[in-house]
Amino acid sequence: MCKKTVKHALLSLTILGFVGCSERTILVYPQGNSVQRPVTTPVKRPAIKEEILLGRSSNNTNLGNRVNVPTNNPTLGTALDANLSVPHTENELIERIPFPEEEYRYVKKRGRSTVSGRIYLENSHTSEKVTGDKLKLWLNPVTSYSRQWYQESYLAGYKLSKTDKRLYNYMKFTYSDNAGKFNFYGVPKGEYYLVGTIKCAEECGFSKSKSVRLVREVSVGNGVTTVELMKHVP
């Protein structure tokens, strides 16, 4: 009996020793019998500054000079804004767009409205008003063709190629009196550029005589539309 007890004791010690030397894995199950999965922490990667490669670089003939991505195209593969204006050189002659015949088919030539107003320049220092006498004014319907002239010629100051003569069939002309007052009769309703030019010298603060062009977009409705065409100088 004693021998069996000693035998069982030695066998138990051997098993415990084997288990103690073995690698153990303990699984902990929280309440609800659901197994908690390990949380994976994403690896932070350094921000990549996108660049466009142009031409060749002295360091690597296969690559080009590095330039920053334009602000309007922060992500490579994004299309550039098609409405951005293309820069021109100072004395460059800009070609007008083809005359849009289809667009002008919807522009009326005769109407029943009247556009009345006054054209003048005002000296910013003396508040003197310069009106001139018998100044030629015209109404130019707002279209893609006239809008190019307004943006490229009047606002940006570039010279455009010759005007298509068909445009004059849709324009209205008149002259001012010695007080700068004018009237257009028989004008169709719509949007127009009202245009006039005044020559001015010392009374406007200029050292020599200059021709100052005045342009304003006006909306013509029923009846009489009253508008002031003026600009502060110098």
Residue 7 belongs to a domain: no
Residue 108 belongs to a domain: yes
Residue 34 belongs to a domain: no
Residue 186 belongs to a domain: yes
Residue 128 belongs to a domain: yes
Cα–Cα distance list, 209 to 57, 102, 212 (Å): 53, 42, 10
Taking 70 as the threshold, does the pLDDT of residue 95 lie above it? yes
- Residues 164-201 pLDDT 10s: 999 999 999 999 999 999 999 999 999 999 999 999 99
What is the chain's alpha carbon radius of gyration, rounded to the nearest angstrom? 41
Range of the domain at 222: 93-233
CA 56 – CA 130 distance, rounded (Å): 58
The whole-chain average pLDDT of the chain stands at 77
Return the higher-pLDDT residue of 43 and 138.
138
Residue 120 belongs to a domain: yes
Check: CB of residue 124 under 8 Å from CB of residue 233: yes
123-152: average pLDDT: 95
Q: In this prediction, what percent of the chain has a pLDDT beyond 90?
A: 60
What does the DSSP 8-state code read for residue 208?
S
Residue 63 belongs to a domain: no
Residue 36 belongs to a domain: no
For the whole model, what pTM was predicted? 0.62
CA 25 – CA 92 distance, rounded (Å): 81
Q: What is the total count of domains within the chain?
A: 1
- CATH code, 129: 2.60.40.1120
Closest CA to 174 of 150, 195, 200: 195
